[in-house]
Amino acid sequence: MKTLTADVVVVGGGSTGAGVVRDVAMRGYSAILVDRADLGQGTTGRYHGLLHSGGRYVVSDPHSATECAEENAIVTRIQSHAVERTGGYFVATHVDDPAWGDDWAKGATDTKVPFEEVSVAEVLKAEPRVNPKISRAFKVEDGSVDGWQLVWSAANSAKQYGAKILTYHRVTKINRDGDRVSQVVCTDEKTGEEVRINTNFVLNCAAAWGGQIAHMADCPDVQVVPGAGIMIAMNHRLTNSVINRLTYPADGDILVPVHTVCIIGTTDQKADDPDKLQIAWDEVQQMMDCGELLVPGFRNARAIHAWAGARPLVKDSRVGSGDTRHMSRGMSIIDHSERDGLKGLLTIAGGKLTTYRLMAENVVNAMCAQLGETRPCRTADEQCPGSEDKKNYVITHRLEEREHDRTEDQILCECELMSKGMFTRALADQPKGSFDDLRRQLRLGMGPCQGGFCSMRATGVALQSEHIDIERATGLVRLFLKNRWIGIWPILYGDQVRQTALDNWIFQGTLDVEHLPGPTHEEVV
Amino acid sequence: MTRVVVIGAGVSGLVAAIRLARGGAAVTLLAKGTGGLQLSQGTIDILGYAPDRVERPLDALGDFAQANPDHPYAFLDAELVGASASYVAELVGAELLVGDPAVNLQLPTAVGAVRPTALASPSMTAGACVDGAKFVIIGLKQLKDFYPELVAHNLNRTDLPGGGRLEARPVMLGFPAREGEVDSSGLTYARALDDPATRKRFAEAVKPLVAEGESVGLPAVLGLDDHNAWSDIADLIGAPVFEIPLPPPSVPGMRLNRTLTAVAKASGVRVVPGSKVTGYRSPGGSVACVQLATAGGIREFAADAFLLSTGGFESGALHADSRHNLRESIFDLPLRRPEGALVHADYWGDPQPLFLVGVETGPDLLVRHPGGDAVYDNLYAAGGILAGATRWQEKSGEGIAVASAVKAADSILAAASSATTEGAAS
């Protein structure tokens, strides 16, 4: 057993938790962040990558729209390397009412979301694949953001201010001393060791899992309803701008270019358990139909991967519990001293990735208020690590890097232009990481071949490091192949069938990987 | 002289084309690309897992066919399969294929698994995984598709199929295929090692790494066109050498492909590369011709019989659209489709039904409606397009391909001969 001490313990390593730990650390508190898995492995890593202009909410949720517009500008500045300034369009397809655009434009004006009405011809010139039958279009300042880069850079900023980031630490209990929080008990998932953290304050940022965490502090019935949405990555960028449907928020209304792919999203189904989200065939079909509306021929493009994420929506008595799309996406802070008579615990949920910094500011303000302290927030004023040069992400950045190092280093993943050096450095930083942990930072195996060529190379290179023995290396590649399949099988059609057949020929046909000697224990995390 | 068009230049198309030409037919081979052999490991697999590891594949085929009545081996019997494997071995010669079709070799893979196969390149057989074997596995720093630690350490912890253990140790050697290049493909190495002077330098670099009694495992890049490059290297080192196949592009697969293509041409087969079949005409119940879209118009290839040896989903011969409508790409042939969902979530589980999809034929390889009559009276199929096998799991790909190719060729020749006889009689 190990005992640590911190002023504040942040539970949850998604965007909210990372923003919160950065904020508390910058205000001078000692802080520890714990997550049961890797950073950004929950909802933050399972969304479509949109950095909202605010345009999506100008009619349905004006307050959120304004927040999005303001925070978009801040995040684009302080985490420039994680954000691509793609720009975006709201387009009325032939099945949408162009007159609704007037309501939208009024909403955008009222909420101070920057926009400009543009001609259909201008949209088609910029984005030739967009449906030529669109009748109306508005240009907005949408961007795309790499959720993992965002979370890691916020966490790294927190570390520079002295915070500790403990991934793979599962919270098992929150102890109290009378009416105050006193200790967070965790299990180190990699070693099995118990870790006790003495603290006065816990900020519950576990989002869709926030109800479970509150329950560990004997605060029952915090209802965070997971709103599940599926997303599908297509094998290249069908558009270089974000394309939104000019309608009231609905399913399948957005196409986002992120890195080398573009992502269509999303659906919204009430889920019972955020750890057991399904990708149903009819939802995939629904996404394909929506894609066809935005980009004709979408069904003939190649889908490479699908995933589902759980929005952390706080149950709101104003809407029925089955309708998660229209539950509050604004942030909710639950003060457990009022609700449950327990001081030193705040639960935050709701909100969206674009406004993660503001959510953090609000919850840390609430904490300071409860503690009777005044410490101003400074998170909007300072660049995060990695963004010192203030340059935004561009799709060609890895190509440029490889141009510089191609005579000295090998390319392990051709799809994503990941070099051997990138892989070995990430592995040295995270020697206990799984290939999926490394993937989230490097995009290993996320391109069209879905690991067909790079998985074996990654295994071989990992084995050459001192961190990993043969059993673990073999277990890691088996786990990686199994995990990739989770996102492949629901969308296995078209040319991805062809790719999968080739991958099967490689892994089973040539390498016979399924008949490697079994591990003494199977890697599961 | 009967005219035959063979579509597809993988192992089944090449073998069928050669057999037809040598049997007296005028054969045109239409090749869209370079064929699937270049993706293979350069071995002839017959049956490796059923689903347990198979030691004697021809002996196992009877029971396997009984347990899998929809499998191509249900009508391609052991005698045919064995004879067909030997036929291919004779075509390419002992420089490229050796072994006994009745007995599986157990050879190491590039991740250190022990893989069963029936016939292999003589450059591979010193890697037979038997009790007491001693290997040094040598990787090349500039080749990213082969990691000696992965091979050696996995082999070391494997209980061998025939019992016992072997000893393997890894060594990494810096040996650029081209000056100043750090990221070279296996093909680049193979071309470099076609040069005797490079081979000599290579052998001199390897020799000090080898201990007494060790066999030397190397990535399968030891020469492309010079089939004796590997034995030359072994002689220079003074120890047994074996090649371990890599993921594509596969040099041993390429050697087989080049050799079979040369044999086909020498046998009188007219090979037309870059030929994607885009249409066909079938007045009455026969295919009259297939069509290519060429500059200036459609070009037609008429024949008395057609052999479809275009492969499976991997080559584009079969296609599943976004609603899981299935299609055979050239003739839109009826396909045999398993009932229910085509894909399931368990990566390590049962075979995916999707990959059992294919065309159905009778024992004469004439394409038929599933459970019914022939689709055309002169359209045959062979190889990867046949329904009912998960070739990469079973390690059955080439066995099915060559047996169906030989049988289809013989059916076409027999039909031509009986037509001639009938013609003469009338």
Where residue B423 falls among pLDDT bands split at 50, 70, 90? low
Where residue A522 falls among pLDDT bands split at 50, 70, 90? low
Q: Which two tokens stand for residue A408?
A: 């000295």
Distance (Å) from the C-alpha of residue B121 to the closest C-alpha of chain A? 14
Distance (Å) from the C-alpha of residue A288 to the closest C-alpha of chain B? 8
This prediction's pTM: 0.94
Nearest Cβ partner for B320 among A494, A504, A506: A494
Q: Which residues of B touch A444 (CB under 8 A)?
A: none
Mutate which of A484, A512, A516, A520 to test chain B, going by most B C-beta atoms within 10 A?
Answer: A512
d(CA A285, CA A268): 14
Structural domain harbouring A456: 397-515
- With an 8 Å Cβ cutoff, is A514 touching chain B? yes
pLDDT for B328 equals 98
Of A277, A312, A347, at which residue does a domain stop? A312
- With an 8 Å Cβ cutoff, is A296 touching chain B? no
Backbone dihedral region for residue B107 (phi beyond 0: left; psi -120 to 50: alpha; all else: beta) = beta
A515/B180 CB distance under 8 A: no
**Structural element, H or E, at residue A466:** none
Name the CATH topology of B125-244.
Rossmann fold (3.40.50)
Residue A126 sits in the same domain as residue A251 = yes
B110/A505 CB distance under 8 A: no
Name the CATH topology of B3-94+254-425.
FAD/NAD(P)-binding domain (3.50.50)
Mutate which of A510, A514, A522, A523 to test chain B, going by most B C-beta atoms within 10 A?
Answer: A510
Res A467 pLDDT > 90: no
3-state helix, strand, coil in chain B (%, to 5): 35, 20, 45
Distance (Å) from the C-alpha of residue B314 to the closest C-alpha of chain A? 4
CA geometry: angle at B373 spanning B371 and B375, to 5°?
110
Nearest Cβ partner for B343 among A486, A492, A494: A492
pLDDT for A518 equals 78
Backbone dihedral region for residue A264 (phi beyond 0: left; psi -120 to 50: alpha; all else: beta) = beta
d(CA A10, CA A213): 11
CATH 3.50.50.60 residue spans of chain B: 3-94+254-425
Give pLDDT tens digits for B117-144.
Answer: 999 999 999 999 999 999 999 999 999 9
A473/B145 CB distance under 8 A: no
B183/A512 CB distance under 8 A: no
Give pLDDT tens digits for B309-354.
Answer: 999 999 999 999 999 999 999 999 999 999 999 999 999 989 999 9
A459/B111 CB distance under 8 A: yes
Mutate which of A488, A515, A520, A522 to test chain B, going by most B C-beta atoms within 10 A?
Answer: A515
Mutate which of A292, A422, A500, A505 to test chain B, going by most B C-beta atoms within 10 A?
Answer: A505
Of A312, A335, A355, at which residue does a domain stop? A312
Q: Which two tokens stand for residue B212?
A: 């007494």
CATH 3.40.50 residue spans of chain B: 125-244
Residue A277 sits in the same domain as residue A417 = no
Q: What CATH number is given to the structural domain containing A264?
A: 3.30.9.10
- With an 8 Å Cβ cutoff, is A456 touching chain B? yes
Nearest Cβ partner for B320 among A470, A497, A506: A497
Nearest Cβ partner for B144 among A288, A412, A470: A412
Q: Which residues of A touch B358 (CB under 8 A)?
A: none
Closest CA relative to residue A456, chosen from B295, B244, B424: B244
Amino acid letter for position A500: T
Residues in chain A, overall count = 525
What is the percent of chain A with per-residue pLDDT over 70, rounded to a whole number?
Answer: 96
Q: Which two tokens stand for residue B391?
A: 């070739």
A512/B114 CB distance under 8 A: yes
A511/B247 CB distance under 8 A: yes
- With an 8 Å Cβ cutoff, is A473 touching chain B? yes
- With an 8 Å Cβ cutoff, is A189 touching chain B? no
pLDDT for A315 equals 67
Q: Which residues of A touch B342 (CB under 8 A)?
A: 492
Number of domains in chain A: 2
Nearest Cβ partner for A517 among B157, B316, B397: B157
Q: Which residues of A touch B172 (CB under 8 A)?
A: 464
B321/A299 CB distance under 8 A: yes
Q: Which residues of A touch B113 (CB under 8 A)?
A: 511-513, 515-516
B49/A489 CB distance under 8 A: no
Residue A294 sits in the same domain as residue A404 = no
What ipTM score was computed for the predicted complex, to two decimals? Answer: 0.97
Nearest Cβ partner for B154 among A494, A497, A517: A517
End-to-end CA distance of chain B: 18
Mutate which of B45, B137, B144 to test chain A, going by most A C-beta atoms within 10 A?
Answer: B144
Write b or e for each residue in A29-58: b if 16 or more Cβ atoms lie within 10 A of its Cβ, otherwise e: bbbbbbbbbbbbbbbbbbbbbbbbbbbbbb
Amino acid letter for position A344: G
Where residue A520 falls among pLDDT bands split at 50, 70, 90? low
A501/B312 CB distance under 8 A: yes
Q: What is the mean pLDDT of residues B50-57?
A: 96
Give domain status of residue A180, yes or no. no
Chain center to CA of A242: 17
Bridge partners of A165, per DSSP, are: A33
Give pLDDT tens digits for A116-153.
Answer: 999 999 999 999 999 999 999 999 999 999 999 999 99
Q: What is the mean pLDDT of residues B101-110?
A: 98
Q: Which two tokens stand for residue A522?
A: 């199977």
A493/B40 CB distance under 8 A: no
Residues in chain B, overall count = 426
Closest CA relative to residue B357, chosen from B376, B334, B338: B338
pLDDT for A313 equals 73
Where residue A316 falls among pLDDT bands split at 50, 70, 90? very low
A459/B183 CB distance under 8 A: no
Distance (Å) from the C-alpha of residue A407 to the closest C-alpha of chain B? 6
The answer to whether A83 touches A144, Cβ cutoff 8 Å, is yes
Q: Which residues of A touch B315 (CB under 8 A)?
A: 498
Q: What is the mean pLDDT of residues B372-387?
A: 97
A470/B157 CB distance under 8 A: yes
Amino acid letter for position B18: I
B395 to chain A: closest CA residue: A509
Give domain status of residue A36, yes or no. no
Give pLDDT tens digits for A253-293.
Answer: 899 999 999 999 888 887 778 888 889 999 999 999 999 99
Q: Within 13 Å of residue A232, how many CA atoms lie on the same side as its CB?
A: 33
A514/B154 CB distance under 8 A: no
Q: Which residues of B touch A486 (CB under 8 A)?
A: 345
Give domain status of residue A241, yes or no. yes
Give domain status of residue A104, yes or no. yes
Give domain status of residue A151, yes or no. no
- With an 8 Å Cβ cutoff, is A285 touching chain B? yes
- With an 8 Å Cβ cutoff, is A401 touching chain B? no
B183/A463 CB distance under 8 A: no
- With an 8 Å Cβ cutoff, is A407 touching chain B? yes
Give domain status of residue A484, yes or no. yes
Partner B, chain A 153-182, Cβ-Cβ below 8 Å: none
Mutate which of B183, B246, B325, B390 to test chain A, going by most A C-beta atoms within 10 A?
Answer: B183
A511/B150 CB distance under 8 A: no
Of A312, A334, A353, at which residue does a domain stop? A312
pLDDT for A391 equals 94
Q: Which residues of A touch B345 (CB under 8 A)?
A: 485-486, 489
The pLDDT mean for chain A works out to 91
Strands A194-198 and A180-188: antiparallel
Q: Could you tell me which residue, B183 or A250, shows the higher pLDDT?
A: B183
Any residues with CB less than 8 A from the CB of B12 and at least 6 apart, and which?
A: B309, B382, B383, B384, B401, B402, B404, B405
Give pLDDT tens digits for A171-227.
Answer: 999 999 999 999 999 999 989 999 999 999 999 999 889 889 999 999 988 877 778
A408/B182 CB distance under 8 A: yes
B322/A506 CB distance under 8 A: no
Distance (Å) from the C-alpha of residue B416 to the closest C-alpha of chain A? 36
Residue A235 sits in the same domain as residue A126 = yes
Where residue A329 falls among pLDDT bands split at 50, 70, 90? low
Residue A308 sits in the same domain as residue A402 = no
